[in-house]
């Protein structure tokens, strides 16, 4: 009976120790979880709200000119969506007015800090349209940033188109000069009445070809001068904050606090066991 009573006392002691450990474990987890929730609440209170403006932008295109080609010239992008996205990933892609519109003040009155808070992705189902998402601390600032970047893209592609048009105009002047000389030759032949010679017929065909090329160049120049990067629809402004939702931050704080508590308990027990072994 004494042995049984002693065993009962040892069992009760083990239960008591186990109860104390469980209570300390829950207490530690409660404290760490509460700390995580408190940090999350502070973060929610002090973190600035972020608003989003969305713009779908169609890339400027121009017709590719090939001398002597028949039919309609194929259209090519002034700047492919992939190239645009790559260009906008560098700070040098933005001029001072664009950076100011996106809320980036000068540092020391000289340089700008950071890059515009934007995301640019190809629009699914299209080959020459990108979707721009610009963010700001207010709906108005997000829209201003999106509008400034659209204007910057348009201005850059306009410069590319201008260079292309200038090269086409050089070709046009050369063709028109050749056409004038060809017409002079035909007029001379007509004046002396030798109109059926091989040289005459070849020159006449060349004149027709040059006339067609000049007309084609004028059409391409006219189309290119009217091409520009443009918005498919007006900029859309989301008047609800798009930053991480408070409930999500709350649960992340709770999860982080519990994880910290579990790691703390694991390390504490490991250190205690190591000390006992020593």
From CA 261, how far away is CA 117, in angstroms rounded? 36
pLDDT band at 113 (very low <50, low <70, confident <90, very high): low
Q: Counting Cβ atoms within 10 Å, is residue 32 exposed (0-12), middle (13-18) or buried (19+)?
A: buried
User: Domain ranges in the chain?
Assistant: 1-47+245-278, 48-242
Q: Residue 8 pLDDT more than 60?
A: no
245: left (phi over 0), alpha (psi -120 to 50) or beta: beta
Contact in structure between 248 and 43 (CB atoms under 8 Å): no
Query: Which of 5 and 274 is assigned the larger pLDDT?
Result: 274
User: φ, ψ for residue 71 (rounded to 5)?
Assistant: 80, -170
From CA 7, how far away is CA 236, in angstroms rounded? 76
What is the model's pLDDT at position 86? 93
Mean pLDDT value across residues 202-221 = 78
What is the model's pLDDT at position 278? 65
Per the prediction, the chain carries an average pLDDT of: 80
Looking at the DSSP bridge assignments, the partners of residue 63 are: 75
From CA 20, how far away is CA 14, in angstroms rounded? 10
Mean pLDDT value across residues 78-101 = 89
Q: Residue 119 pLDDT more than 90?
A: yes
From CA 183, how far away is CA 165, in angstroms rounded? 26
Q: Residue 208 pLDDT more than 60?
A: yes
Lowest mean per-residue pLDDT among 13-17, 90-94, 155-159? 13-17
CA quadruple 154, 156, 162, 165: dihedral sign: negative
Q: What is the pTM of this model?
A: 0.64
What is the model's pLDDT at position 177? 87
Contact in structure between 168 and 221 (CB atoms under 8 Å): yes
Q: Please give the DSSP secondary-structure letter assigned to residue 239.
A: -
Residues composing the chain: 278
The topology under which CATH files domain 48-242 is Bacterial polysaccharide co-polymerase-like (3.30.1890)
Q: Using the CB atoms, write b or e for 219-245: b if 16+ within 10 Å.
A: ebbeebeebbbeeeeebebeeebebee
Mean pLDDT value across residues 202-219 = 78
What is the model's pLDDT at position 2? 46
pLDDT tens-digit readout, 149-207: 999 999 999 888 888 888 888 888 888 888 888 888 777 777 776 555 666 677 777 77
Looking at the DSSP bridge assignments, the partners of residue 230 are: 58
End-to-end CA distance of the chain: 38
Calculate the alpha carbon distances from 17 to 11, 24, 270 in Å. Answer: 10, 11, 18
pLDDT tens-digit readout, 228-272: 788 988 999 988 888 767 788 888 888 988 888 888 878 877 777
From CA 242, how far away is CA 145, in angstroms rounded? 16
Q: Residue 109 pLDDT more than 50?
A: no
Q: Of 214, 172, 225, whose CA–CA distance to 61 is shortest?
A: 225
CA quadruple 26, 32, 38, 40: dihedral sign: negative
Contact in structure between 257 and 34 (CB atoms under 8 Å): yes
């Amino acid at each position: 009976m004494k042995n049984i009573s002693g065993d009962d006392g040892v069992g009760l002691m083990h239960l008591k120790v186990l109860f104390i450990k469980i209570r300390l474990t829950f207490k530690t987890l409660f404290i760490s979880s509460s700390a995580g929730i408190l940090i999350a609440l502070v973060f929610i209170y002090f973190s600035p709200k972020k608003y989003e403006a969305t713009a779908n932008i169609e890339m400027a295109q121009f017709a590719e000119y090939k001398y002597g080609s028949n039919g309609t010239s194929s259209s090519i992008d002034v700047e492919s969506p992939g190239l645009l996205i790559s260009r906008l990933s560098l700070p040098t892609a933005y001029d001072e007015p664009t950076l100011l519109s996106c809320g980036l003040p000068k540092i020391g009155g000289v340089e700008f800090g950071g890059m515009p808070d934007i995301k640019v992705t190809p629009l699914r189902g299209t080959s020459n349209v990108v979707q721009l998402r610009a963010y700001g601390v207010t709906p108005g600032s997000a829209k201003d940033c999106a509008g400034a970047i659209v204007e910057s893209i348009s201005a850059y592609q306009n410069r590319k188109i201008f260079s292309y048009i200038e090269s086409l105009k050089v070709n046009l002047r050369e063709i028109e000069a050749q056409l004038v000389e060809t017409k002079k030759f035909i007029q001379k032949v007509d004046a002396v009445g030798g109109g059926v010679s091989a040289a005459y017929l070849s020159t006449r065909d060349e004149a027709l070809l040059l006339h067609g090329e000049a007309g084609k160049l004028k059409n391409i120049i006219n189309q290119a001068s009217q091409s520009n990067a443009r918005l498919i629809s007006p900029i859309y402004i989301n008047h609800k904050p798009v930053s991480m939702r408070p409930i999500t931050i709350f649960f992340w704080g709770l999860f982080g606090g519990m994880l910290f508590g579990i790691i703390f308990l694991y390390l504490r027990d490991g250190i205690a066991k190591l000390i006992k072994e020593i």
